[in-house]
Amino acid sequence: MEKAKLIEILSEWNFWEKEINTGVERKKYVEKVNNVLKSGQVATIIGARRSGKSTIMKQYLHELIKNGVNKKNTLFVNFEDPRFGAELSLELLQQIFDAYIEFLEPEGKPYIFLDEVQHIKGWEKFVRSLHERDVAYLIVSGSSSRLLSEEFGTALTGRHITIQVFPLSFPEFLKFKGVEIKTKLEAVSKRHAIRRLLREYMEFGAFPKVVLSEEKSAMLRDYYDDILSKDVIVKHGIKAHDKLIALSKFYITNVSSPVTFNSIKGFLDIPISTIERFSYFLSYSYLFFFVKKHAYSLKEQEKNPRKVYCIDSGLRNAISFRFSEDAGKIAENIVFLELTRQGEEIYYWKDGRQRETDFVIKKGLKIVEVIQVCWNLDDAKTKKREIEGMMEAMREFDLKEGLVITEDFEGEEAVEGGRVIYMPLWKWLMGREGKQIPFIN
């Protein structure tokens, strides 16, 4: 492609001659990118399609310009722009870079943003070359956890830091809705608005553009189809589309539930080897996550069921069958996402008598926290079962405190050898991120 044509395409994505809307700032991610580049590493931004990776890159780019970086010292390339053609290649990537250097004439080290870079076979060689020669600051993004980690693992070992981007946390969601909470007093005074918005968060999820859109359900269905088609079927060359789609719908219908490949085989009549392979592909795309049972041997972990969670509750609701009792499962899915967003190592726990705890959190070699999600405590039998399961986990791991996340109930009670804290989901979500607001009385 001619250099002048490449510059014409690139001009629409860059700040060279115009301002570009960068949306509501996601400050924590922007700060993470800045810290990675300050350390001299390549910033790798990965996450589900439509979770906001491109916008975060543009927000950081805009911050650079605001702080004095010459606009011509920045280059943003979106490899999903159809005008680049179907045959994306390493040669095209080099042509883009050469055209940028020739036409823009950057001074010093430019900032190079390569968005959805996985479409370029061999891109890691180009990035490594620029990094080793110290001729550019590099920020790359992609929608496949496996692709980026494997390619960087071989090409840029020790030279990159990965930033995982998720759909909006609840505090981010409130900010998008024009509600910012900085003190406990503000949280109390805006309690009813926060709880109303939590229902929306649970119903339609937290993909940034969906949060701001009026056509939420239709947009979510499009997102789901895009992830399956572009990041799973096309990416991995899957021919058995119907089996992949059936498996995905099974998982999305059984969010927050334990699953085994054997049970799926009997239900969908798909070979176990195919189920295993497709499940990995779905997890690489960030559509689903699989949580193992805590056990002291890897063999026991592998043979037990895994609990399945979805990247977004709104996505789950737009695709899955709906039942009135689903609120508890959706709440559990949201708790999982927040723990994962915080970088926690998560398992579920179950003993030989089938007493279970939804989440046990491991740091190093030790379990440090147990969390149970019990949406409705009105039923005495349900409450007794959930608390007994968590108390067994507390005894197992020698913990003096357990947390139960609820819809509304708040308080604490003494139990044998410790205490149980009850906290509404909205308070936990707001207190967990940064732990700056002391919500617990």
Judge if 66 and 159 occupy the same domain: yes
Contacts of 391 (CB under 8 A, 6+ apart): 402, 415, 416, 420
CB 109, CB 72: distance < 8 Å: no
Judge if 40 and 109 occupy the same domain: yes
Judge if 224 and 296 occupy the same domain: yes
DSSP class of residue 292 equals P
Reduced to 3 states (helix: H, G, I; strand: E, B; else coil), residue 265 is helix
Give the domain-ending residue among 111, 132, 165: 165
Instruction: Report if residue 416 sits inside a domain.
Output: yes
Judge if 134 and 237 occupy the same domain: no
Judge if 161 and 175 occupy the same domain: no
Residue 248's φ and ψ, nearest 5 degrees, are -60, -40
Residue bearing tokens 């079962």: 385
Residue bearing tokens 């799926």: 264
User: How high is the pLDDT of residue 395?
Assistant: 94
Instruction: Report if residue 117 sits inside a domain.
Output: yes
Instruction: Report if residue 83 sits inside a domain.
Output: yes
User: CA-CA distance, 308 to 226, in Å (whole number)?
Assistant: 20
pTM (predicted TM-score): 0.92
For residue 261, give its domain range: 170-432
Two structure tokens written together for 205: 């999820």
Q: How many domains does the chain have?
A: 2
User: CA-CA distance, 319 to 246, in Å (whole number)?
Assistant: 12
Q: 64: how many CB neighbours lie within 10 A of its CB?
A: 20
User: CA-CA distance, 417 to 398, in Å (whole number)?
Assistant: 9
Residue bearing tokens 């405590």: 377
Instruction: Report if residue 440 sits inside a domain.
Output: no
User: CA-CA distance, 200 to 319, in Å (whole number)?
Assistant: 17
Two structure tokens written together for 324: 């009135």
User: CA-CA distance, 151 to 216, in Å (whole number)?
Assistant: 35
Two structure tokens written together for 371: 């969390």
Residue bearing tokens 């979805």: 310
User: CA-CA distance, 285 to 289, in Å (whole number)?
Assistant: 10
Angle at 404 between CA 303 and CA 432, to 5 degrees: 95
DSSP class of residue 324 equals G
pLDDT tens digits for the chain (441 residues)? 899 999 999 999 999 999 999 999 999 999 999 999 999 999 999 999 999 999 999 999 999 999 999 999 999 999 999 999 877 899 999 999 999 999 999 999 999 999 999 888 888 889 999 999 999 999 999 887 765 555 555 666 667 889 999 999 999 999 999 998 888 788 888 889 999 999 999 999 999 999 999 999 999 999 999 999 999 999 899 999 999 999 999 999 999 999 999 999 988 989 999 999 999 999 999 999 999 999 887 888 888 999 999 999 999 999 986 655 689 999 999 999 999 999 999 999 998 888 899 999 999 999 999 999 999 888 888 888 889 999 999 999 999 999 999 999 999 999 887 899 999 999 999 987 544 444 433
User: CA-CA distance, 108 to 74, in Å (whole number)?
Assistant: 11
User: CA-CA distance, 338 to 226, in Å (whole number)?
Assistant: 24
Judge if 331 and 384 occupy the same domain: yes
Judge if 188 and 146 occupy the same domain: no
User: How high is the pLDDT of residue 440?
Assistant: 37
- Paired residues of 226 in beta bridges: none
Instruction: Report if residue 437 sits inside a domain.
Output: no
Give the domain-ending residue among 165, 190, 218: 165
User: How high is the pLDDT of residue 434?
Assistant: 44
Judge if 310 and 408 occupy the same domain: yes
Judge if 199 and 153 occupy the same domain: no
CB 431, CB 439: distance < 8 Å: yes
Going by their DSSP bridges, the two strands 111-115 and 74-78 should be labelled as parallel
Judge if 96 and 19 occupy the same domain: yes
User: CA-CA distance, 434 to 441, in Å (whole number)?
Assistant: 18
Residue 307, H or E segment: strand 306-310
User: CA-CA distance, 39 to 373, in Å (whole number)?
Assistant: 39
Judge if 233 and 247 occupy the same domain: yes
Q: Exposed, middle or buried: residue 83 (CB in 10 Å: 0-12, 13-18, 19+)?
A: exposed
Give the domain-ending residue among 134, 165, 196: 165
CATH of the domain at 10: 3.40.50.300
User: CA-CA distance, 138 to 135, in Å (whole number)?
Assistant: 9
User: CA-CA distance, 177 to 41, in Å (whole number)?
Assistant: 34
Judge if 57 and 92 occupy the same domain: yes
Contacts of 406 (CB under 8 A, 6+ apart): 374, 375, 376, 377, 422, 423, 424, 425
Residue 198's φ and ψ, nearest 5 degrees, are -60, -40
User: CA-CA distance, 221 to 57, in Å (whole number)?
Assistant: 25
